[in-house]
Amino acid sequence: VQVEGLTGNIKFDQNGKRINFTINVMELKSTGPRKIGYWSEVDKMVVNPLDGPLGNESSGLENKTIIVTTILESPYVMMKKNHEMLEGNDRYEGYCVDLATEIAKHCGFKYKLTIVGDGKYGARDADTKIWNGMVGELVYG
């Protein structure tokens, strides 16, 4: 399957996974969004020096460790093939992992990836009004 969309050529393999794509990485400022690089499955995260962030503006996050809650979802967050031999964030790869690493470098903070136990994005139970998944982790800690 192949169609043209807002993000360019949209092509899927026989399993329904999107292939051969590039995602622009944007920096959001008060003056508006600005492209600072791109991510692809081949090149991973690429920050263009001419398009890259201007300076190293203070964000208030310096020397802090941020917990990033996520689920395993290819190509965004995946376990590396040799993840059993690795520790911490080194066990993971993918677009969101590359993006988090670059943001952390740019802003001067550390982060810890935590995978949601139930593997769900999150839904609110109609009877109990309790959230599960990633949303539940964020709402209830």
pLDDT of residue 38: 85
Confidence of residue 58 (pLDDT cuts 50, 70, 90): very low
Mean pLDDT over residues 5-27, rounded? 79
Is 25:47 a contact under the CB 8 Å cutoff? yes
Q: How much is the pLDDT for 37?
A: 85
36-41 CB contacts, 8 Å cutoff, 24+ apart = 37/102, 39/95, 39/98, 39/99, 41/75
* pLDDT, greater one: 97 or 22: 97
When pLDDT is averaged across residues 66-73 and rounded to a whole number, the result is: 92
In DSSP notation, 2-18 reads EEEETTEEEEE-TTS-E
What are 28-55's pLDDT values in tens digits?
A: 777 878 888 888 888 887 877 665 454 5
**Strands of the 44-47 sheet, one edge to the other:** 22-29, 32-40, 44-47
Q: What is the mean pLDDT of the chain?
A: 84
pTM for the complete prediction? 0.57
Kindly state the percentage of the chain with pLDDT values over 90: 42
Domains and CATH numbers, the chain: 24-140 (3.40.190.10)
